[in-house]
Structure 1
């Protein structure tokens, strides 16, 4: 083991007017001696508490590397390598550590965005049964699986896909730069054209009826779950968080809170008469208001629903009915509800905008366009 000097924060007297920095010494193989390295504490951190918090996390990383035997070894064109290869740790463990470091650079709102996107990546790993994958085992093929997951399963628009991939790619780059990851499979990703795609797929009337009949007979709880998506336009990730207390039986509304909603704002969903009948059938009377409406196994319980449980159940139903070739997903219930609300129920685009929680009606219009819905269609009847 080569000598080193552990990282420390300066100045010791914590004078805010002085230059704050972290300093350590690492062995340089070519120079055959210890060399001192420094990292300035970001000037935007104004208080002692903020600076100490940032330094504590940074120092922990540096000291861990020193204790693991890392050295400077310039090879060829100035490539820096270490005495030993990065440990093959759990991938999510490494990415969570990188997120903690990144948080010191980000504003509060941006932190929430990074956390949400990393949560989406974690959902993908679970979806592909890769939850325990090690850092060395995540390969370019897994990057393409993730990209396909965003496009086909979540049906994200191109701007969302770009932002998601660049964010996860940045965390990978941080891991490589700090010696925790060997490679960054996200490097070289070229942005998708940021135009709306037509990947959103709604059920045909025949397939909708077939799925509803199947779910009523074989998975009633999933049928209830899809009613909230179809009539309330609630996203699956949001619906997993809804508790009984969020369903206002007097005002006939459902509250979807900012930390769960896509646009980070509280949405109030109006309950239409058909969804109201479903809720009455579920019968929440006398139950603990803190229970999840759709918890584990989609039951009303205190246990949170696993991320992909509803997706997998819906896919099982599609497979049973041999409908997988039509590109339907769990999200198709929400898309179908939107199509039918406009074309059959006569809901205005402005009412749909409010239900969806879109900040601008143009967003709703573009969404409907991807579903090939003409907004000037005349209503055929009052319900859908």
Structure 2
């Protein structure tokens, strides 16, 4: 007899069958996954209820374990149970009944599928009699007062806890995003879980987290910070909850239904010719290492964090090029201008794995994250330069990139058309498209018009 349980754990997936073809009242509850609150020493399974033909009431059915409990980590165990749950839902919608022998119905589905494909898959028919189904023993769990079967303790279980679900999503996302983004995502989930504990203590499982809870959390972020920060939290959470929806751990992503707020972006203010000249002269005496760091930003048009990533092996003085991980590319190559080469010390005797910039010298070990390195130089610049010259708070290390791209563009415009100047500039700065470059130039006010006073001569 081919039971419904055997069909679920058998390695066959009817991926293209409809999940929404029931026109009558459902005779079953939506299948759920029991995770024992993440305890891997206990058995995890899929459970559901089916309408009893005599009492007409939903009755709890045997748990579906399959091979899930052979896995020793949460992610693999949950992934397999999610497949079982998905198959179970499809089979129930197709008419499978746990109270009857489903062999003929199952065979008819195989024949129907084989006919649709042009031939029947004989390999699957041969496997049917060999299906091995684990014994459905009752798992005992101990409580403070009495011993209960696992069926008794989890009947009202409503899914993974919020923390477990977010950790699962983070584990999946870790393979898709950069380490820096993963840290941001983890920080966001920690903030959410903390807020839920303090403001929604009764909200325990991921299935209880809805749009209203998400809105309340995002509003709390908005009130204590800014619309931009709130939008960043929203973006991170939406990405993580989409993983949960894709893996059928939640019916839908509640964050997708929440709109982003209009925010005013912060802008790094460029330096005037007088300002950057004065800063460079000051740093020649006060902090030559910081000056060289700034010149890599200014003349190579790198972002501060990109300079921090540079290693000795990335600098090719023979070809006058450097390679680095950019914001929009895993590996980008740029020309090193003579103004930089002339100021570099002899790098030939340094370990290729050394970082080019460290807090105390050119070329050395520096075991911390790229973000920490960038933050270190930002603080150093504030202490040495900004406080000394009383600069605007929006005049940062990044501002040097804006300043020198503007200087270069204005120089290229002399004796050249705007399009020709931008074409050459794009090749230098590394922008991916002319549209991206033009948007950038407008953003830093590099495209100012010529003096138009002559048009008012008659006034």
Q: Given the two structures, how large is their TM-score scaled by the length of structure 1?
A: 0.59
Q: In the alignment, which residue of structure 2 is the partner of 1:136? A: 193
Cα offset, 1:99, TM superposition:
1.3
Contact 1:229–1:334 (CA<8 Å) still a contact in 2? yes
Contact 2:313–2:353 (CA<8 Å) still a contact in 1? yes
Structure 1 distance, partners of 2:389, 2:248, is 48
Which of the pair has the greater relative contact order for Cα pairs under 8 Å at 6+ separation? Answer: 1
Q: Does residue 46 of structure 2 align to residue 25 of structure 1?
A: yes
Q: In the alignment, which residue of structure 2 is the partner of 1:169? A: 238
Q: In the alignment, which residue of structure 2 is the partner of 1:207? A: 275
Mark the runs of 5 or more structure 1 residues left unpaired by the alignment: 1-5, 39-53, 74-79, 104-110, 151-160, 379-384
Structure 1 distance, partners of 2:448, 2:401, is 17
Structure 2 distance, partners of 1:297, 1:184, is 49
Q: Does residue 338 of structure 2 align to residue 273 of structure 1?
A: yes
Q: In the alignment, which residue of structure 2 is the partner of 1:292? A: 355
Where do 1:102-117 residues align within 5 Å?
A: 111=176, 115-116=177-178
Contact 2:315–2:322 (CA<8 Å) still a contact in 1? yes
Structure 1 distance, partners of 2:82, 2:331, is 37
CA RMSD in angstroms, aligned pairs only? 5.2
Q: In the alignment, which residue of structure 2 is the partner of 1:310? A: 374
Contact 1:25–1:34 (CA<8 Å) still a contact in 2? no
Structure 2 distance, partners of 1:218, 1:67, is 72
Q: Does residue 334 of structure 2 align to residue 334 of structure 1?
A: no
- Quick one: structure 1 residues 264 and 62, their matched pair in 2 at CA, closer, same or farther if it must change by over 3 Å? same
Contact 1:295–1:304 (CA<8 Å) still a contact in 2? no
State the Cα deviation string for residues 119-142 of structure 1 (Å, max 9, x = none). Answer: 2362698xxxx6995652265355
- Quick one: structure 1 residues 95 and 252, their matched pair in 2 at CA, closer, same or farther if it must change by over 3 Å? same
Where do 1:212-361 residues align within 5 Å?
A: 212-213=280-281, 215-256=283-324, 260-264=325-329, 266-278=331-343, 280=344, 282-295=345-358, 300-306=363-369, 307-318=371-382, 319-321=386-388, 323=390, 325-344=392-411, 348-361=421-434
Larger Rg: 2
Q: In the alignment, which residue of structure 1 is the partner of 2:132? A: none
Structure 1 distance, partners of 2:140, 2:259, is 34
Cα offset, 1:277, TM superposition:
2.0
Q: After alignment, is 331-340 or 184-193 more displaced?
A: 184-193
Q: In the alignment, which residue of structure 2 is the partner of 1:11? A: 10
**How many corresponding residue pairs?**
307
Structure 1 distance, partners of 2:272, 2:62, is 68
- Quick one: structure 1 residues 244 and 312, their matched pair in 2 at CA, closer, same or farther if it must change by over 3 Å? closer
- Quick one: structure 1 residues 207 and 321, their matched pair in 2 at CA, closer, same or farther if it must change by over 3 Å? farther
Q: In the alignment, which residue of structure 1 is the partner of 2:445? A: 372
Cα offset, 1:86, TM superposition:
3.8
Per the alignment, in what secondary structure is the counterpart of residue 269 of structure 1? strand
Cα offset, 1:233, TM superposition:
0.8
Per the alignment, in what secondary structure is the counterpart of residue 308 of structure 1? helix
Contact 1:88–1:135 (CA<8 Å) still a contact in 2? no
Contact 1:27–1:34 (CA<8 Å) still a contact in 2? yes
State the Cα deviation string for residues 218-262 of structure 1 (Å, max 9, x = none). Answer: 543332222111100112333232222221111211123xxx222
Cα offset, 1:171, TM superposition:
0.7
Cα offset, 1:285, TM superposition:
2.5
Q: Does residue 58 of structure 2 align to residue 59 of structure 1?
A: no
Cα offset, 1:72, TM superposition:
6.5
State the Cα deviation string for residues 11-61 of structure 1 (Å, max 9, x = none). Answer: 34xx6xx54799942377x967357689xxxxxxxxxxxxxxx97661378
Where do 1:41-80 residues align within 5 Å?
A: 58-59=79-80, 71=154, 73=156
Q: Given the two structures, how large is their TM-score scaled by the length of structure 2?
A: 0.51
Structure 1 distance, partners of 2:381, 2:162, is 43
Cα offset, 1:187, TM superposition:
6.8
